Chains A and B, each alone.
Chain A
Amino acid sequence: MLSIWDSTLFGSGGAIQEQRWLGTLELLVAAHAPLAATIAPLTLATATMGLYSFAATLLWGWAVFGVSLAVVHPIAFVVAVAVTILSLGLLGTVLASTFVFLRNANALVNMLTYPMALATGLLVPLGLLPGWVTPVSWLLPPTWGMEAIRQAAAGGNAWPEVLMCLVVGAAYGALGVFLVGRMERLARRHATLALA
């Protein structure tokens, strides 16, 4: 899950930064299609790239450390993974919006890997963290996605978490569309779009 997050994080930022470096960002912004409609497929694609890391990590765990890959509810498992990637891709549009406006948002993005890992309880139980972190974790798609995947693998009911992951992801998608538009206008006003 951490690898999917990393893929989304750096892919979403990189997608915009590369366009800027290659001089194609202005063309995308000038096109008739809304910028969010151009950016969302990029962020979804980079989140999907994380699927490779997810599969590779599972295979390495099985081959090197003897971790069992038994999944009790395979259909729920596949749906949970797909919904998690979708919701992370939608979260990626929010991240990408900062790159439209900020010249070097890599600094901000580089910092986000570990906070997300901590706040969603991916590797360290939330019980070890201060109490206020738990409500924050409810607002983050990986919390629900990871729980859904765990439930599906262990034989629990994964569907409520799948639904929550979808709802949280949709909320980030709506926020992303709003922020991309807003950041685009700010970048035009401050003339920072083409600054590499």
Chain B
Amino acid sequence: MSSIFRQARAAYVGGQLAYRALFNWTHPFMYATTLFGGPLFQMLFFMLLGRYTGLADSDFYVVGNAVLAVSGACLFGSTMAIANERRYRTLGPVLASPANRAVTFTARGWPYVAHGILAAVVLLAYGALFLGFRMNLVRVPTLILVMTLAAASCSAFGLVLGALGVRFRDVFIMSNIAHYIMLMVSGAQIPREVLPGWLQAVGDAMPLTAGIEASRLVAAGVRWSAVWPLLLRESIVLVAYGALAVGLMSFFEAEARRSGTLDAI
């Protein structure tokens, strides 16, 4: 029991320290622009584009972008959690420690989940205040739970990309491409029905897709029986990417130790 407690404490403290150190914001204004500014302008842009093209209504973009705000924080934050260790030349000491790798790196994701949820709640509130978005308030806790699951799977995906950062020099190219793919195939900005079948299949394998659909159903007040299969799908995506992240991290760590490239930037 004490071992589990120790691991949980290490996960909490490690995640908190890594978030503060590697997210490297120096001023509250910078933090606020990262957290709220980007997602807010993205939502307004796609909502206006959607209205102009007649693709979808405001509610579609408010919920989609609220979940996507979670993804942005978790995807880039989790990638930075590993890739920035390398950039700041602190990855060596982290990997030299006897701490459990899975705990160390999965713990890096939790602050970004909390960060993303906060951004999502702000977007929902903005949508309710200025864009006519309405949902039953009783369903808000359920919606936050669904978003938390989507955030966790996004964090796992971000850790996969971060693990690639142990091997490749500029992993942010990959996380940017991944982010744009998610914009396109997750159903956040474009209704999935208008996508070709192969792009829908790509979306099925990505985090967030099921989470966004589940969030929209929860916000619309649809029965739970229609929601849980989507949550099951998102959970499978979470476990798959989590396992892949741990596996890749171990593999690239061993490779970097063998070839002496851990600190090469």
Using CB atoms and an 8 Å cutoff, list the residues of chain A in contact with chain B.
21, 102-105, 107-108, 110-111, 113-115, 117-118, 123-125, 128-129, 196
Q: Are B30 and A124 interface neighbours, CB within 8 A?
A: no
Contact of A114 (CB < 8 Å), options: B24, B42, B52, B87: B42
Q: Are A196 and B88 interface neighbours, CB within 8 A?
A: yes
Minimum CB–CB distance from B96 to chain A (whole Å) comes to 22
> Binding site of B, secondary structure by majority: helix, strand, loop or mixed?
helix
Q: Are B30 and A115 interface neighbours, CB within 8 A?
A: no
B interface, size bucket: 20 to 34
A21-B87, A129-B48 given; A118·B30 CB < 8 A: no
Q: Are B49 and A107 interface neighbours, CB within 8 A?
A: no
Q: Are A107 and B52 interface neighbours, CB within 8 A?
A: no
Q: Are A110 and B24 interface neighbours, CB within 8 A?
A: no
B27 closest partner in A (C-beta): A102
Minimum CB–CB distance from A23 to chain B (whole Å) comes to 11
A111 cross-chain contacts in B, Cβ below 8 A: 33-34, 37-38, 41
Contact of B44 (CB < 8 Å), options: A107, A110, A113, A118: A118
Q: Are A108 and B26 interface neighbours, CB within 8 A?
A: no
A115 cross-chain contacts in B, Cβ below 8 A: 41
B44 cross-chain contacts in A, Cβ below 8 A: 114, 118
Q: Are B41 and A107 interface neighbours, CB within 8 A?
A: no
Q: Can you list 12 A-B pairs with a CB-CB distance of less than 8 A? A: A103-B26, A104-B24, A107-B33, A107-B34, A108-B30, A110-B33, A110-B38, A114-B41, A114-B45, A128-B48, A128-B52, A129-B48
Taken together as a complex, chains A and B put the C-alpha atoms of A114 and B88 apart, in Å, by 30
Minimum CB–CB distance from A104 to chain B (whole Å) comes to 5
Taken together as a complex, chains A and B put the C-alpha atoms of A108 and B36 apart, in Å, by 11
Whether B25 is near chain A, meaning CB under 8 Å from some CB there, is: yes
Within 8 A of A (CB), among B24-71: 24-27, 30-31, 33-34, 37-38, 41-42, 44-45, 48-49, 51-52
Taken together as a complex, chains A and B put the C-alpha atoms of A104 and B27 apart, in Å, by 9
Q: Are A128 and B51 interface neighbours, CB within 8 A?
A: yes
Q: Are A110 and B48 interface neighbours, CB within 8 A?
A: no
Q: Are A124 and B88 interface neighbours, CB within 8 A?
A: no
Q: Are A125 and B26 interface neighbours, CB within 8 A?
A: no
Q: Are B26 and A123 interface neighbours, CB within 8 A?
A: no
B52 cross-chain contacts in A, Cβ below 8 A: 124-125, 128
